[in-house]
Each structure stands twice: as C-alpha cells, then as structure tokens.
C-alpha cells in the first residue's frame, strides 16, 4: 500500500478491501479522502470502535 501511495503521490489513502466466503481478500479501491462517517448511527460508532479495538489489540482473534 505504501508503494501505491508513493506512485500516485498520495499522503493518505483509504483502501477498501472485501473478504469473500472462502477467506480470500479482494482489493476494491483506494480513496484519497475516504470516509465512513456517512453511515447512520449506531453504525458509525460501531465502525469506530472496531477500528480502535483492532489498533489496540492487533493479535486478538476477531469475528469474521
């Protein structure tokens, strides 16, 4: 992802990935100003909490 940002001269990029039914990751896009806050509450709070939890506990098993 760092190489992608460098090639396109971006300082930030919100990369969107999807996980299919068999566990294969797929890259969808990179948005230089990606946001998720357009979701209605309580979805936005749940996304924020999930991101914070993953950053604080990267080795913890997370539901898939």
Cβ atoms of 35 and 14 closer than 8 Å: yes
The pTM assigned to this predicted structure is 0.50
| Dihedral (CA of 25, 29, 5, 58) sign | negative
pLDDT of residue 64: 56
Please report, for the chain, the start and end positions of each structural domain, with discontinuous segments joined by +. 1-33, 35-64
Predicted confidence band of residue 63 (pLDDT cuts 50, 70, 90): low
The CA dihedral of 38, 4, 23, 36, to the nearest 10 degrees, is -10
Total Cβ atoms within 10 A of residue 44: 14
- CA of 56: how far to CAs of 16, 17, 40, in Å? 21, 21, 25
Residue 20 confidence (pLDDT):
93
Q: Give tens-digit pLDDT for 13-60.
A: 889 999 999 999 999 999 887 776 677 888 888 888 888 888 898 888
**Over 90: is that where the pLDDT of 61 sits?**
no
């Amino acid at each position: 992802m760092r190489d992608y940002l460098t090639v396109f001269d971006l300082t930030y990029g919100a990369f969107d990935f999807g996980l299919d039914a068999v566990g294969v990751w797929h890259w969808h896009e990179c948005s230089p100003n990606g946001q998720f806050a357009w979701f209605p509450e309580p979805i936005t709070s749940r996304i924020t909490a999930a991101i914070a939890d993953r950053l604080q506990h990267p080795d913890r098993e997370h539901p898939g």
